[in-house]
Amino acid sequence: MRSFKFIVTCLIIFLSTQANSQINGKVIEVSKTKDTTVVVGATISWSNTSISAITNELGDFKLINSTSSKVLIIQAIGFVTRKISVSDTNKFLLLILKSGLVLDEIELIYYSTGTEISYLNPIKTEILNERSLMKAACCNLSESFETNPSIDVNFADAITGTKQIQMLGLSGQYAQITKENMPYLRGLASNYGLTFIPGSWIQSIQLSKGVGSVINGYESFTGQINTELQNPLKSDKLNFNTYINENARNEYNLNLSRQLNKNLSIGLLSHTSFNPLAQDKNNDGFADIPIGKQYNFMNKYGYSSPNGFEAQFGGGYLKDTRSGGQFLEFIPNKSDSIKLYKLGVDNEKWEVYSKTGYVFKNKPGTSMGLQTSYLNHLQNNFYGNTNYQGNQKTFYLNYIFQGIINTTDNVFKIGTSYLNDNVSEIFENSTYERKEKVIGTFLEFTHNYKEKFNFIAGIRADYHNYYGLFYTPRIHLRYAFKPTSVLRLSAGKALRTSSIFSDNSYLMASSRKWTIEPSDSKLPYGLKPESGWNYGLNYTQKFKINYREAYVTLDIYRTDFTNQVVTDLDYDPQQVIIFNLKGSSYSNTLQFEFNLEPRKRFFIKTAYRFVDTKVDFKSGLLQKSMVSKHRAFINLSYETKNNHWLFDFTNQFNGEKRLPSTESNPLEYKVANYSPSFFNVLGQITFNTKIYSNNFNIYLGVENLLNYKQSDPIISSDLPFNKYFDASMVWGPIYGRMLYLGLRYKIK
């Protein structure tokens, strides 16, 4: 820690010493009528160096002298670029630019695979845009990753219909999932929260692996997933989407936006969905997908003023209910006296938020912002005879100030944050409460050397009312051998409080008895926080095949836990044992991607991933269950000329997974030690046209085209109240082939 602070201090001192001499000047335009106008936002730089400055609202600039160059380059949008030789740097420079040629308006058409990767950012970030979200039904956030090779999407259990994600070989709670760069998927939301963001609400998703920026908090172990919702300042006036599938699930989404005046816009995001049909296609007496309904609304406001002040604020409300389990019509020997195993899930959540920012017009690269949010989440669930109730109230505040040191090649961000989590839970007639209060401060420094090398170094210091003071250092490095050949390295620490009931809610769909082995009774659940380090390497090479762009990328990441809350399902098949790590726990991931465009508008994306995740359980160091060691992926997409027809095809290979041990069970209640490998095939055809200059498209798709199903996903489904019942041993599809149909209509 001391060496890290020393390096940052030395960097700042070194860069500050470069300001001993500088030149002053002004950039103006002289019109044909001899009128003089200052040029705001012009860039002045020394040739073949990274030293530059930007003119302020008066056209003035201050630029550090260069010892290696005497040629200035002056650039501004709409003006002819000019080069001049400077012999005396002590004189005030009056620089005159000439207006550039005015061109007729042209339209650029750019075909994209739907995923964009920045070659300049030290943090490798994939941006999933609207094209990516249109490749599948994407009814909610959990289904938005079906066509992305970096994220695994699986059913959590056999009766709730809930899907969970995995990233870098670890479950989704180790990735920091944010909504518009504010905390989202944490606490009670970690089990069902992925289904609370409808796909049509999403503008884009930013996905980065490894530790993220310290600005967003200390909880990122395996990566950051940020979801940007439709912005009323930029979104369509109307966006309507409806969907129905083979299970009669039907959804209706309506997004509206309107500009009230030149500064203020309003947006409404609305969603309703219904699952009215209970089906039992595998004849185990349980509904494959629960019935239920969801109402979800969000009101957003956007304000932008010419003086540099911007704001977004709004609020939302959600009600989600589900019913599942056994239905009388599924029981062969129907009788009103039969006690049925029932499932009930009830979520109610409301939230308000604001994001405000101010850009200092007379100070290039200087701005500040404030993020605030408050949510209240109520959850009331039952799984047979097991009951769970939870209430979470969270307040979040984050203040960020950004500035530069001499030039825009040296950017720093400093700020403070506050988090107040008030969580109350009742499980099996026992009450658990935690009131977390965390105040923190952070510093992040970014340095750019031309386009060759840059880095981001950051550190957080947080004081937690349970855990005391702790530090979170992180660093990201990028080196470009060529503009198309980039190497990135990253390392950093993360910490989180484990929400043991929400993180493991799928295990409530079983008869297992929960045993918590506390380490310190004063801590939440009596358990120490989870902490660990993540190290990563990424290499991306861009090239051309048949005059079209292609690229390969290699990711190597390791997560090392210094402490972890371990959930042991192997020691006893009738227990869930939760305790703090007493040995080692790690995850190694290697992923290789190859993407190309062999023909115009025909894109191929391929990937292979190897995962080695091991944890010290009570039985020893074992491979983590329900994680495929090998996974392969191919996505084919084609767009016809003028974008009228879009075809998408995805094939996922899922290697075998280790299953929790059932060796001590009677023979009829045992399962194999490993699941078989299988393929999951998805496809979609979209017809896109224009009606009165507005976009209209119809899409027809299929999930699990090969109709592959896990046989007998529920152990002891005929006797759900005996001690061997377990619906959590799900490693593959449950429902089988699923057809769906939908339409979208937009008014720009």
Contact by Cβ (8 Å): 663, 642 = no
CA distance 421 to 410: 35
What are residue 8's phi and psi, to 5 degrees? -60, -45
Residue 35 gets which letter from DSSP?
Answer: -
Whether 108 has a pLDDT exceeding 50, the answer reads no
Cβ within 8 Å of residue 482, ≥6 positions away: none
Q: Are strands 93-97 and 22-30 parallel, antiparallel or unpaired?
A: parallel
Mean pLDDT of the chain: 89
Whether 78 has a pLDDT exceeding 80, the answer reads no
Q: What is the mean pLDDT of residues 634-642?
A: 91
Q: Which of 383, 349, 346, 399 is nearest to 187 (CA)?
A: 349
Q: For the segment 35-70, what is each residue's pLDDT rounded down to a tens digit?
A: 567 788 888 888 877 778 888 877 888 888 877 778
Q: Which of 253, 354, 346 is nearest to 302 (CA)?
A: 354
Whether 11 has a pLDDT exceeding 60, the answer reads no
Residue 436 gets which letter from DSSP?
Answer: E
* pTM across the whole model: 0.83
Q: Dihedral sign for Cα 34, 38, 42, 47, please.
A: positive
Q: Which of 595, 605, 607 is nearest to 654 (CA)?
A: 607
Helix/strand/coil percentages in the chain, nearest 5: 10, 55, 35
Whether 117 has a pLDDT exceeding 90, the answer reads no
- pLDDT-derived band at 18, boundaries 50, 70, 90: very low
Q: What is the mean pLDDT of residues 530-536?
A: 97
Q: Are strands 223-229 and 175-179 parallel, antiparallel or unpaired?
A: parallel
* pLDDT (0 to 100) of residue 401: 96
* pLDDT (0 to 100) of residue 334: 67
Sketch the domain layout of the chain as residue ranges: 2-97, 115-227, 228-747
Whether 104 has a pLDDT exceeding 60, the answer reads no
Q: Which of 634, 631, 630 is nearest to 596 (CA)?
A: 634
C-alpha to C-alpha distances, 36 to 32, 76, 84, 572, 594, nearest whole angstrom: 10, 16, 20, 83, 54
Whether 514 has a pLDDT exceeding 50, the answer reads yes
Provide the strand spans (E) within 247-366. Answer: 250-259, 264-275, 291-304, 309-325, 342-359
CA distance 513 to 241: 44
Write out 160-216 in H/E/C secondary structure: CCCEEEEECCEEHHHEEEEECCEECCCCCHHHHHHHHCEHHHEEEEEEEECCCCHHH
* pLDDT (0 to 100) of residue 20: 41
CATH of 2-97, one of 2.60.120.10, 2.60.40.4130, 3.40.50.620, 3.40.50.300: 2.60.40.4130
Q: What is the mean pLDDT of residues 474-495?
A: 95
* pLDDT (0 to 100) of residue 41: 82
- pLDDT-derived band at 692, boundaries 50, 70, 90: low
- pLDDT-derived band at 19, boundaries 50, 70, 90: very low
Q: What is the mean pLDDT of residues 318-325?
A: 95
Q: Give the CA angle between residues 701, 713, 682 to the nearest 5°.
A: 15
Q: For the segment 673-685, what is each residue's pLDDT rounded down to a tens digit?
A: 999 999 999 999 9
Q: How many Å separate Cα 708 from the centre of its chain?
A: 29
What are residue 607's phi and psi, to 5 degrees? -155, 150
Q: What is the mean pLDDT of residues 608-636?
A: 96
CATH of 115-227, one of 3.40.50.720, 1.10.645.10, 1.10.630.10, 2.170.130.10: 2.170.130.10
CATH of 228-747, one of 2.40.170.20, 3.40.50.300, 3.40.50.720, 3.40.630.30: 2.40.170.20
Q: Which residue has the higher pLDDT, 35 or 363?
A: 363
Whether 346 has a pLDDT exceeding 50, the answer reads yes
* pLDDT (0 to 100) of residue 140: 85
The residue behind tokens 């095939």 is 681
C-alpha to C-alpha distances, 227 to 158, 174, 327, 421, nearest whole angstrom: 28, 16, 37, 22
The string over 275-293, giving b where at least 16 C-beta atoms fall within 10 Å of a residue's C-beta and e elsewhere, is beebbbebebbbbbbbbbe
Whether 691 has a pLDDT exceeding 60, the answer reads yes
Q: Give the CA angle between residues 243, 631, 155 to the nearest 5°.
A: 45
Lowest average pLDDT, out of 102-116, 160-174, 329-343, goes to: 102-116
CA distance 359 to 543: 38
Number of H helices, E strands in the chain: 4, 43
